[in-house]
Structure 1
């Protein structure tokens, strides 16, 4: 028993030592100030009230000033969610037309995209069944309604999306045909990529998809490229880190920024999602850590990506004046530049 206890104690000490090395190494890596600055191509997720409720002209002007001041090029106005059949009741977006008119008056050049999504039905659980061709057809019909209202693009956020989801890729192909024919854009929000692609089959075996329990819906490199080839913009939901220190959370943002841009930065515009809300596990994640981490990730690139890139702020309704000021000071470059994307 004593021998067994010693083995256990040595094993625990070994594991704790490894953890300490990781924590100390991450802290040391985190200390230097990032060299890279941010960009003038940035996105913002905006609340549903902009399309669902009435607003005064002053409120529209204030929104436009916020977008201009912070160099936001794309706003994802929540306009859904989809019903199970792929439709959105008109009452949910009854003021969308007024919003679009106001955006054209006060924020010309800023793309207003219809942010649409739903919980993806998987193995009988969820709401919208994208495996059903009829549902995908009605989603496209709904997209046409929002494009007719004047939205500059469609922004999809279906969750979960697994790297074997061919129906989602089919929907992207057909949606992009629609948006391109009208001179609009298609953007997609995706979970952060896998850390190791080979781990995905292991997760799938250990955590089978049934009920409300699923293995992590992380795109593999191959699937992320497939999505990027079918979308004009990809926004990576890098937030919800739940790591205990700023340096570890910052490493998370840096690692995903570098890997994502290396994988698809030459194929499509990329927004790295950064949070201004407090996550459920309120440890070390905030806008300051996220932006610093993204910049550290940019430092690690051998060359800039060929396509535009920036951050996507989640969300408009949780960002206060102090956070906007920090974003401008730490992210926006001092000189004006190309804001196309």
Structure 2
């Protein structure tokens, strides 16, 4: 019993030291600023429902004011056979025309995905070549409508998923032949690749997900080599202090940019939804953490990078003000004014 007591005290002491260290680290203001290459996940209603000219104009103003370079307009999800009913995106052409008019230069991408079949659970079976063929035909339909790219969000994707890599390879061929983009959303990588077997052994299966679908370093590089843009879903942190949540964003930002920042454009996902009770994650913590991660780099990556805001339907005016204050670099003055 005495040894048990000492062990518990030792573990608690280490935890207290870690929390104290994280708190001290978090206090200094990051020097690195944000960028003008940023993404936004946008709700399905933009392609599925009619909007007034005033609403389109307001959208354009929001995108320009917040220096959003890419918008992932939800246009799916895929049906099990890889199709998307035309009724789901009946107003896509009007949306694209409005973005070009009111936010010229902003890329409107078709955000498409579905729950990936794993061990017989899920909706879309990407292992089926016929399904992948149909997904590509559906992608072509959206490019024909005028979208500037295809944004995939299939979940879960595990680091042994060859079918997904095949789909990425073939989609890249399609988008590049049209002069368009291919982007993809991925889960945050495991901080240590060796932890993957531990996750698989210890974390119980929930539905189709039998352990967290964390990309390994090699898989993340393989995806980056097939994509023009990679958005890391860094949110859903579930940590109890702002310092620990900030460390999470900083650590993933630095590691991701070191791994693939010279291969593809990277967006680090930041949340604007309200954190669950007891957790410290919010937009301000995420943005500051990303800036700390950028500041820790030995050199900036050669490709553009920024944040991906999740999502337009959870971001109010006050949060956009915070985003601009914490993240955006000073505006470049216009000569002659």
Query: Please, what TM-score do these two structures have when normalized by structure 1?
Result: 0.95
Distance across 2 between alignment mates of 1:123 and 1:103: 41
Structure 1, 321-330 or 261-270: larger mean CA deviation: 321-330
Q: Which residue of 2 aligns with 1:43?
A: 39
Task: Name the SS of the counterpart of 2:108 in structure 1.
Answer: strand
Deviation at 1:106, TM superposition (A): 1.1
SS in 1 for 2:182: strand
Deviation per CA, 1:73-98: give whole Å up to 9, x if none.
Answer: 00000000011111111111111111
* Aligned twin of 1:91: 87
Partner SS, residue 225 of structure 1: helix
Give the drift of 1:312. Answer: 0.3
Structure 1 residue 204 displacement after superposition:
2.6
> Which of 68, 71, 81 is the equivalent residue of 1:75?
71
Of the three residues 234, 237, 242, the one matched with 2:233 is: 237
Quote how far apart the aligned CAs of 1:314 are: 0.3
Shift of 1:329: 1.2
Question: C-alpha displacement at 1:122, in angstroms?
Answer: 0.3
Q: How far did residue 206 of structure 1 move? A: 4.0
- 1:144 paired residue number: 140
Distance in 2, Cα, partners of 1:9 & 1:195: 31
Shift, 1:335, TM fit? 3.3
CA contact (8 A) 1:193 1:219 kept: yes
Q: What secondary structure is seen at the aligned counterpart in 2 of 1:216?
A: coil
Gap regions ≥5 residues in structure 1:
none
Q: What residue in structure 2 maps to residue 253 of structure 1?
A: 249
Determine whether 1:180 maps to 2:176: yes
> In the alignment, which of 107, 122, 125 is matched to residue 126 of structure 1?
122
What root-mean-square deviation, in Å, do the aligned CA atoms of Structure 1 and Structure 2 show?
1.3
Distance in 2 of aligned mates of 1:34 and 1:210? 38
Establish whether residue 307 from structure 1 lines up as the match of residue 319 from structure 2: no
State the shift of 1:334 in Å.
Answer: 0.5
In structure 2, the partner of 1:31 is 27
Counterparts of 1:324 and 1:207, CA distance in 2 = 36
Task: Please give the alpha-carbon distance, in whole angstroms, between the structure 1 residues aligned to 2:226 and 2:204.
Answer: 28
Q: Conserved in 2, the CA contact under 8 Å of 1:123 and 1:210?
A: no
Among 209, 216, 219, the residue aligned to 1:220: 216
Match of 2:330? 334
Q: Are the counterparts in 2 of residues 207 and 213 from structure 1 also a CA contact under 8 Å?
A: no
Contact kept, 8 Å, 1:242 with 1:281, in 2: the verdict is no
CA distance in 2, matches of 1:116, 1:312: 16
Distance 2:207 2:297 in 1: 40
Give how far 1:202 is off. Answer: 2.8
* 8 Å contact from structure 2 (residues 109, 151) kept in 1: yes
Note closer, same or farther for the CA distance 1:159–1:334 as it changes in structure 2 (3 Å cut).
Answer: same
Displacement of 1:213 in angstroms is 4.6
TM-score, scaled relative to structure 2: 0.96
1:159 aligns with 2:155: yes
Query: Partner of 2:265 in structure 1?
Result: 269
Structure 2 unaligned regions, length at least 5: none
Residue 230 of structure 1: SS of its match in structure 2? coil
**Contact persistence 1:123–1:209 (CA under 8 A):** no
Is residue 14 of structure 2 the alignment partner of residue 18 of structure 1?
yes
